[in-house]
Structure 1
Amino acid sequence: MRTYRTDGPRCQVNPDVILKLLERSKEVLKNDAMVVRVTNPAIIFGPIYGEGDSLITLMSQAKLFPPNVTYVMLGGYVGHGFAQLECLFFLLCLKILYPDKVVLLKGHHEESISLEMLKVKEWLFARNISQEAHLEEILLEMKRTCSMMSACALLDENRVLCIPGGPGPVLRERGLAQLEKLKKGFQSVPDKKLVMEAAWSVLILNEAQKDMHGMPVFTPVRILEKK
């Protein structure tokens, strides 16, 4: 970074470099299954939301780094922290370096509509990318790259399920086998709903809200349910 301000870093970003990073990482992410099975040892990281200092602190406290351990990231890479985009770019670089030791799951911030609402183009503009064509191209490539991220991961011989949005009603009804069958990228409406549920479900906190135009639901009550 060449300059730093209290409202965020102002590094000089080369659009061609970012596009190459996104294209390369997209190809690497394609190789991961929709449901990734992770062998021990592994470390699970919650959402980062652009908090670059927190990400580096957590990694340093873990005291283990790929390829000696697998990092499982639970989505939420971009956000309103001081490193709004840099966290995603850093993790994509890590994924390219250690493709089998870094698992990037797709959270709700990685959905296309979220990238639009988060005003990613404004963040890019603040990083010295001013041409509209570059802004549109990078945003589109970010959406494509994020669409290649896996939905969830299974750890510890399938005893631990990592899913950014929690298991929603469709997933609980159909099971992981249905999710495993899905292909990344373009999906039918029912399949897309299942993938979005894996990213969004936990955000619906009130059971009474469960029928919001098909929006998935996973409430704290579900955690305590006994089958």
Structure 2
Amino acid sequence: MENPSLHIVRQYFMPGKAEKLSDSDISFILMEAKNKLSKDPTVYHLKSPLIVVGDLHGNLKDLLHIFQTAGTPPEHKFLFLGDYIDRGPQSVELLLLLFSLKVLYPDNIFLLRGNHETINFAEPTDFTKECKAKLFSSALILISEVFDEMPIAALVDEKIWCIHGGLSQGYTKISQIQSIKRPLKTPENGYLVDLLWSDPNCQVQEWGPNQRGNTVVWGAKAAKKFMEENSISYIIRAHQAVFDGFKYAFPPDKSVVTLYSSSFSTNGTPNKAAYCSLSPGNPPKFTQLFKLANNTSFNIYWKDGHQRI
């Protein structure tokens, strides 16, 4: 019997193969992804070379553009910083593709949790509406369980800290974050929320209130202290739309950077997407991608079966 996780890649993305994926295949992918993620540590310790990807927000075309430009697993390793869902039109397809790749290549695909990877069943969102339109009734519960198993951060080459949101006054040591137990239901506020929600801000030195309401902003002094205490050189985070796809938080210093990998921002304004390439002994390298035309096709080949997307 064909591996269902390879089957989903073909069913959704092979030209001329648009037939509906079965509920049992989707259930299999979700349960296997949950199992794989539950075995991963709360903080990944990874070695470069590695590709880092920021917010995608349901923009499948941008993910495929990155794969076509940067390469694909298992030849390349990928670290995703979260916010896979909402806003874009294909959150379900994007999420299921990433989960499929995690099942296929667990040592080459690393998925962090973003602030959007929390299901509030009481408040409909773009993603919950999309799930109800495309998936079976209990799929959302299974997806929520997968989200609760997602790791929080990654440390690359022991020097590059990667996380969705940012810093927290309650978690000043990487060892503290490593000790966070999963599965994890994220609260609405508190120090844990800061890891997924907080933002850098050049108007403050250390800490200040955040306009998002449930978290904080942090300045260059707070970032420097965190990096010194944990012996790291860079912080790569996501969580904010930036016009050029990446933006240094405290220029001219380049040690803290926001990475955004969707070519369509919250306010509907087209922007560049970007991804980050990490290699041993080198500073992070950023590649910008321009928004593609709607009719763009892709020629992407996976090692297993050479499936064309």
Q: TM-score range by the shorter chain?
A: 0.7 to 0.9
In structure 2, the partner of 1:96 is 103
Distance 1:26 1:154 in 2: 22
In structure 1, the partner of 2:55 is 47
In structure 2, the partner of 1:151 is 152
The TM-score, its normalising length taken from structure 1, stands at 0.78
Distance 1:96 1:35 in 2: 19
Q: Check if 1:20 corresponds to 2:20.
A: no
3-state SS of 1:111 partner: coil
RMSD: 3.2
In structure 1, the partner of 2:215 is 216
> How far apart are 1:194 and its partner, in Å?
4.3
The question of whether the paired residues in 2 share the 8 Å contact of 1:204 and 1:210 is answered with no
- What is the one-letter code of the residue matched to 1:138? A
Q: What residue ranges of structure 2 are gaps of 5+ in the alignment?
A: 1-10, 13-17, 226-309
> How far apart are 1:147 and its partner, in Å?
0.7
> How far apart are 1:180 and its partner, in Å?
0.7
The structure richer in strand per residue is 2
Distance 1:121 1:52 in 2: 17
Aligned CA distance change for structure 1 residues 148 and 226 (closer, same or farther; 3 Å): closer
Distance 2:64 2:90 in 1: 11
Identity of aligned residues (%): 24
In structure 2, the partner of 1:160 is 160
Distance 1:40 1:122 in 2: 38
- Please point out which of 180, 189, 198 is paired with 2:195: 198
The TM-score, its normalising length taken from structure 2, stands at 0.59
3-state SS of 1:37 partner: strand
Distance 1:60 1:34 in 2: 29
In structure 2, the partner of 1:7 is none
- Please point out which of 46, 70, 78 is paired with 2:77: 70
- What is the one-letter code of the residue matched to 2:182? K
Aligned CA distance change for structure 1 residues 217 and 117 (closer, same or farther; 3 Å): farther
Aligned CA distance change for structure 1 residues 104 and 159 (closer, same or farther; 3 Å): same
> How far apart are 1:169 and its partner, in Å?
2.0
- Please point out which of 112, 130, 138 is paired with 2:119: 112
Residues 11-39 of structure 1 show CA distances to partners (whole Å, capped at 9, x for unaligned) of 73533322221111100001110000111
Distance 1:51 1:41 in 2: 25
- What is the one-letter code of the residue matched to 2:183? G
Distance 1:183 1:14 in 2: 33
The question of whether the paired residues in 1 share the 8 Å contact of 2:168 and 2:192 is answered with no
- What is the one-letter code of the residue matched to 2:193? M
Distance 1:18 1:153 in 2: 28
Distance 1:201 1:15 in 2: 37
In structure 2, the partner of 1:184 is 182
Aligned CA distance change for structure 1 residues 34 and 226 (closer, same or farther; 3 Å): closer
> How far apart are 1:80 and its partner, in Å?
2.0
From the CA coordinates, give the structure whose radius of gyration is larger.
Answer: 2
- What is the one-letter code of the residue matched to 1:82? P
The structure richer in helix per residue is 1
